[in-house]
Each structure stands twice: as C-alpha cells, then as structure tokens.
Amino acid sequence: MEQVPQEYLSFNDYYAWPKVPGTKQLIIQDMLDKCLESQWKSSKKIKAGQIQQVEMLLTHARTHSPFYQHLLSQINMQGVRDFSDVWKQIPSLEPNIIAQAGQAMAAKNIPVEHGNAKRSAMVLPGMAPMPILTSDFWMAIQSSWFARQAQDHGWDQQATLIDLGPGNPGQHKEIRAGWGFATTSGPHFAGNYDSASAILPNWLTGIEGDIYLRFDANTLPNVLSAFDSGALPNLKGLMVNVTRKAELDLCTIARKKGISAIAVIIIPGLGMIAATCPEEGTLHIQSESVLVEKVRNQTLITSLHNFAMPLVRVNTGLAFELLKNCRCGRGQDAITLRH
C-alpha cells in the first residue's frame, strides 16, 4: 500500500495528526491534549468540523477506494446546492454490503502521516466479525479517547489498570506500562474470566493497591457483587462497554457505591461511539471521532479518521435516544440507550 501526500490529513489542529517529532507515545499525548480541549467547543463548531472532515474523507475515498469510486460516481450533481445535498444521496452501508465488498472498500493509498494499515475486524450486533483495515493514526486516536475518559473522570494514573476478556480464567499478563495510553505510569494487565459464568478469576483479588477495570458489561454484576462482599476492596473505577439500558443503569448503581464507573459504547472497527459525562452521567457521542445520524429509525455511523478503509454511514443497529444539551457545557451530543 502506497502513501499519499499530507494534504489528506485532518482538517484542523483538533483533528490532525500532530506535527511533532518523536515516538508514538509523544504523538498520543499530543492527541490527548487536543481532545481534552476539543470537547469544550460549541456544538455548532463541532458539527462544522465534522462536515469538513467528511468532505476530506470522501475526497480520499473517491480517489483511492474502488468501492467508493463506483458508489460516488452515481450521485446526481444536478441541482446540488451544497455538501448536504450530496450527503443525502449516499446510501446507508449495510453489513452484507461490507461483507460482499471486502477489500474493494480499502483505499489503495493512505496519507503518509497515518502510518501503516492495520488488519482489524468490525463487529456489529448479531453479526459475524467482518475483516476491515484501520491505521496507526486511527489506533492512536482510539488510545487518546480512552485516555480522555480516564483523565476526565479523575482516575489515578499511578494505579493498576486491568483489561478483562473471555478466556482461560487462570491466565493474565502485564502487557505494557502506562496503561497503553502513554499518558500514565501505572501497570497494565490483560486477564481472562470464564465467559460462561462471568466468574471473576482468583488472581484478580490478589492484586495490591488501587485497581481500575475495563470489560464488557456481562461481568458487571459479578464485579459489583465482589465489591459488596469485600473481595475487591481496592476497586476504584470501571470502564464498561454497554449495549443495553439495563447495563447503563448498573453503571449508575456502581457510581452510587462510590466507584468511578464509565459506561462506553464501543463498536469494534468503528471505535468508541459514546462515553459517560463525568458531571451529569449522560452519554456523550465522541463527535470528534464519529458522525452519528438517526435516519428513519436507523443509526448510521461514519468513522471520521479511517482513511485506510473508509466506513461511511454504516447501519449499526444501535438504538438510542437523543437528549437535550448536557448541562456540563460540552459541545458533544448527549444520548441514552433506548432499551
């Protein structure tokens, strides 16, 4: 895969690959600094930024992706007044279309500063994983989004972070220092639990010092039970991937117990879609990273920074309700899960 000039980078300093030399860690730190600031931009400015970003993404897709070359060539430009008239003609991207198109959706070239293409998978509700491509740039943005949530919620960056996933509950290992965010110095472990019963592994209760956990919501009841029984006395925070309102409500219960519980909506391959507001407890769409639309009861999501394999107006099946502007003052839209 060749690389293309820097002209296809993101549209401004809040979205662009940082023009700083150095390691990936420095780049992620710079991204974090920018996204900590960008969430306070007005809703109007964020939406204007999204439009500019989408325009650049489509220009790149039309130039470098065979799938989008064909798709966008069918747009009727007669009577088009502005970009919104073009956007309305782009059909939703159904999962079966993505699966059928395969590598034809991938860009033959990516921006130089986006690094290398990375093999990944998109997992939509009720669907088998679909192979996709992302990039070093896209992965770094996701790291900065996770770091923003931890910092906004006041997580102790010297404490231990543990990622829990399904698998052999006896296995765990330290995967990197600094939580993988490059903005912290605490140890970072990855471990497994019994996905059938969601029983917590014995090694988890033996870790000394304050701990923060990241996991999918199916094990949240067991974590809260362990906390109530005194088995996890050093548990300070949770980052939980939720898909239903009942799981969101459990995060609210955790906060009432004194645990810093961050509910996040993550669609593998599209990234972090929304995360808990630190002040109000609502969910904020991560508007600098994704464009979320409600069209005829469908939830369409565009990944704004995946230039390796543009994913535009993907029909995700996500069910949510748009709320009034959050009182916290952030410009990102506030939502809640419908059921």
pLDDT in tens, 239-276: 999 988 999 999 999 999 999 999 999 999 999 999 99
The mean per-residue pLDDT over the stretch 79-87 comes to 78
Amino acid 277: pLDDT: 95
Amino acid 204: pLDDT: 81
Residues whose CB falls within 8 Å of the CB of residue 206, separated by 6 or more in sequence, listed in order:
none
Between 304 and 114, the higher pLDDT residue = 304
Residue 230 phi, psi dihedral angles, 5° rounding: 90, 5
Which of 123-127, 207-211, 222-226 is modeled with the greatest confidence? Answer: 222-226
- Which tokens is 286 given? 């991560």
Amino acid 9: pLDDT: 36
Between 328 and 175, the higher pLDDT residue = 328
pLDDT in tens, 48-61: 888 888 988 999 99
pTM exceeds 0.85 for this model: yes
Going through 206-259 in order, the beta strands assigned E by DSSP cover: 211-216, 235-241
All structural domains of the chain: 1-339 (3.40.50.12780)
- Which tokens is 59 given? 């220009």
Does the pLDDT at position 236 exceed 80? yes
Which amino acid is residue 315, in one-letter code?
N
Amino acid 181: pLDDT: 55
Neighbours of 98 (CB within 10 A): 22
Amino acid 90: pLDDT: 92
Q: How many CA atoms lie within 13 A of 6 on its CB side?
A: 6
Amino acid 15: pLDDT: 38
The mean per-residue pLDDT over the stretch 21-39 comes to 72
CB 254 within 8 A of CB 224: yes
Buried b (16+ CB within 10 A) or exposed e, 179-204: bbbbbbebbbbbbbbbeeebebbeeb
Please, which pLDDT band fits residue 168 given cuts at 50, 70 and 90?
low
C-alpha pair distances (Å), 219 with each of 147, 169, 231, 242, 273:
23, 13, 15, 11, 21
pLDDT in tens, 133-148: 999 888 888 888 888 8
Cα–Cα dist 259/252, whole Å: 9
Amino acid 30: pLDDT: 74
Largest pairwise CA distance in the chain? 67
Q: With pLDDT > 90 as the criterion, what percentage of the chain qualifies?
A: 44
Does the pLDDT at position 225 exceed 60? yes
Q: Which residues pair with 295 in a beta bridge?
A: 298
Tell me which residue of 206, 203, 214 sits closest to 179, measured CA to CA.
Answer: 214
